C-alpha cells in the first residue's frame, strides 16, 4: 500500500483534517499512535505512573478541544508535545497549591476546616488566613455546576476511580476527566489570590 511509505507527518495531517471535519475516530488513531510517547514524556515530570496517565489523558483532551485551531504550522506531534508539557507543568503547580505547607487540599474543604495543622498556628493572622482559604474552597465547590461538583466529590471524597465515576454518572470516562480537570481549575482560580497573599 502506498500509504505505508508516506511520511508520518503527512498521515497525521490527513487525520487532523478528518477530526476537524467531525470524524472522531480519526482522533483515536492519533491517540493510539502517540499515547505511549506522551505518557513517557509526562513521566519525566509526574513520577507517579497512574497520575502520569491521568495527565497524559488530560493532554489529549486539551488537544482534541484545541484541534479546531490547529493550522499545521508545526508537525502535529510537536504541537501535541507542547500541550503535554504544559499540562504536566500545570498539574505540578496545581498539586503544589493543593498540598501547601499546611496541606490544604482544595477538594477537602470540610476536613481541612478541622485539620490539626490549622489549629496550632502561632498568630491570629495565620488562623484568619487559613479560615479564608477553607471558606474559599467551600464557596468554590458550591458554585461549581452540579456535574463538575459531583465528579470531583466522587473522586476526592469517595476515592472512586475515573471508570467508577463514569459508571455512576452514566457518561464517558473522558467526560469525567474533563469535569474533574475543570473543577480543579475553577477551585485553583478562586484560591490563587489567597495563596498569593501568604
Range of the domain at 158: 109-197
pLDDT of the residue at 33: 92
Which ranges of the chain would DSSP assign to H, the alpha helix? 8-20, 24-43, 49-66, 76-98, 109-113, 116-119, 124-143, 146-156, 162-169, 173-197
Whether residue 18 sits in one domain with residue 79: yes
CATH number at 149 reads: 1.10.10.10
Q: Is 176 in the same domain as 151? A: yes
Q: What pLDDT does 99 receive?
A: 54
Let me know whether 171 and 89 are in one domain. no
Res 111: pLDDT? 45
Report the pLDDT value the prediction gives residue 165, as an integer from 0 to 100: 83
Supply the pLDDT for residue 56: 93
User: Quick one: 155 and 182 in the same domain?
Assistant: yes
Of 41, 63, 98, which one is at a domain's C-terminal end? 98
- What is the model's pTM? 0.48
Whether 103 is covered by a domain: the verdict is no
User: Does 104 fall in a domain?
Assistant: no
> Which residue matches cell numbers 499546611?
102
Please, what is the Cα angle at 90 between 85 and 95, to 5 degrees? 130
pLDDT value, residue 73: 79
Q: Do residues 12 and 89 share a domain?
A: yes
Residues 117 and 87 both lie in one domain: no
- Same domain? For 148 and 88 the reply is no
Residues 6+ apart with CB under 8 A from 162: 54, 155, 173, 176, 177, 180
Instruction: Give every residue of the chain whose pLDDT is below 70, as ranges.
Output: 1-8, 10, 96-130, 157-158, 195-198
Domain count, the chain: 2
Contact between 154 and 160 (Cβ < 8 Å): yes
Indicate if 118 and 49 belong to the same structural domain: no
Amino acid at each position: 500500500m502506498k500509504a505505508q511509505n508516506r511520511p508520518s507527518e503527512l498521515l497525521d495531517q490527513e487525520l487532523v483534517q478528518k477530526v476537524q471535519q467531525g470524524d472522531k475516530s480519526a482522533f483515536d488513531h492519533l491517540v493510539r499512535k502517540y499515547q505511549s510517547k506522551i505518557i513517557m514524556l509526562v513521566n519525566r515530570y509526574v513520577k507517579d505512573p497512574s497520575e502520569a496517565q491521568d495527565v497524559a489523558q488530560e493532554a489529549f483532551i486539551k488537544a482534541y478541544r484545541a484541534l479546531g485551531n490547529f493550522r499545521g504550522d508545526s508537525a502535529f506531534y510537536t504541537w501535541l508535545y507542547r500541550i503535554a508539557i504544559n499540562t504536566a507543568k500545570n498539574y505540578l503547580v496545581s498539586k503544589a497549591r493543593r498540598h501547601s505547607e499546611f496541606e490544604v487540599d482544595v477538594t477537602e474543604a470540610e476536613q481541612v476546616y478541622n485539620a490539626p495543622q490549622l489549629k496550632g498556628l502561632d498568630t491570629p493572622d495565620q488562623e484568619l488566613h487559613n479560615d479564608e482559604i477553607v471558606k474559599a474552597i467551600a464557596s468554590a465547590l458550591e458554585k461549581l455546576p452540579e456535574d463538575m461538583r459531583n465528579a470531583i466529590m466522587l473522586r476526592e471524597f469517595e476515592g472512586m476511580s475515573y471508570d467508577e465515576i463514569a459508571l455512576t454518572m452514566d457518561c464517558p470516562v473522558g467526560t469525567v476527566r474533563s469535569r474533574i480537570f475543570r473543577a480543579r481549575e475553577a477551585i485553583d482560580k478562586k484560591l490563587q489570590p489567597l495563596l498569593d497573599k501568604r
